[in-house]
């Protein structure tokens, strides 16, 4: 593990964050936008765990932050999917262009 510098791990997490950002910008389907959000949250988790492992190996705080982020991501995904299913029931579509009642 010591041969790889921390900057390379941070390169991976930054690239993953912006890949998720690209998906969030271009996709118009709610489920795929949710997947992009999951990618973004995972890139943040990589950062926390890498900083904990490389810079503060005597503490466990990064691990706890990663665990709490995973928990909240699971809750967020469940609520988002409940909303998506409810939206599909009323609009018969999960495209964000079709849900425009509260837009303006």
Binding site residues, other proteins, CB under 8 A:
1, 3-4, 6-12, 14-16, 18-23, 25-29, 31-32, 34-36, 38-39, 42, 45-46, 49-50, 53-61, 63-64, 66-68, 70-79, 81-86, 88-89, 94
Cβ of residue 100: shortest distance to other proteins, in angstroms? 17
9 or 103: CB nearest other proteins: 9
| Nearest residue to 29 via CA among 87, 79, 101, 90 | 87
Cβ of residue 46: shortest distance to other proteins, in angstroms? 6
Cβ of residue 103: shortest distance to other proteins, in angstroms? 18
| Nearest residue to 81 via CA among 19, 42, 37, 45 | 37
Facing residues of 23 across strands? none
Residue with tokens 């010591």: 2
Q: Give the three-class secondary structure for 57.
A: coil
């Amino acid at each position: 593990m010591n041969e790889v510098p921390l900057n390379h791990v941070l390169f991976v997490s930054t690239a993953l964050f912006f890949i998720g950002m690209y998906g969030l910008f271009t996709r118009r389907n709610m489920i795929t936008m949710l997947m992009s959000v999951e990618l973004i949250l995972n890139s943040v988790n990589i950062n926390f765990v890498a900083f904990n492992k490389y810079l503060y190996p005597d503490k466990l705080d990064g691990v706890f932050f990663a665990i709490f982020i995973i928990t909240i991501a699971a809750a967020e995904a469940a609520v988002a999917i409940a909303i998506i299913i409810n939206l599909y029931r009323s609009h018969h579509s999960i495209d964000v262009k079709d849900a425009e009642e509260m837009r303006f």
